[in-house]
Amino acid sequence: MRPFQVQRQQPQQKDRIQFSFPHTDRKGKGRIALIGHSAGGWISRVYLSNRNYGGRSYNGSELVHSLMTLESPNANAPGAAFKSIEWINREDIPDTVRALAVAGKGFQGGSMWNFYQECI
């Protein structure tokens, strides 16, 4: 996985982040910023969660300090395709992760200025 690339094969995503960024650890040192475009945004929110999804808990918030979603479908909508979004909308972003949604609906992160200032 290259930096800033979100893989859709979630069961291996945490392992890929640890492999691609071996300096990350669960003590808060070397954590990364995760950027997800379109479906990658809500999939990243699943990755941050500590609840079981599809039989596995990812606990990605241990390795991620910030999440930015770009044009992600975060609003609940009718239809089977949006059941996963409904599920993740019942889950809060962990307090240890800053979040910003850009050009998406249904999920409100912080302001861009605050997000930028905290990342530098």
pLDDT in tens, 30-56: 788 999 998 888 889 999 998 888 888
How far is it, in rounded angstroms, from Cα 5 to Cα 86?
Answer: 24
Q: How many residues does the chain have?
A: 120
- The residue ranking higher by pLDDT, 111 or 85, is 85
Cβ atoms 112, 80 nearer than 8 A = no
**How would you classify the pairing of strands 64-70 and 98-102?**
parallel
Would you say 41 and 8 are in contact if contact means Cβ atoms under 8 Å apart? no
Residue type, 8: R
What share of residues in the chain are helix, strand, coil (percent, to 5)? 35, 20, 45
Q: Is residue 46 within 8 Å of residue 13, measured between CB atoms?
A: no
Band of residue 57 on the pLDDT scale cut at 50, 70, 90: confident
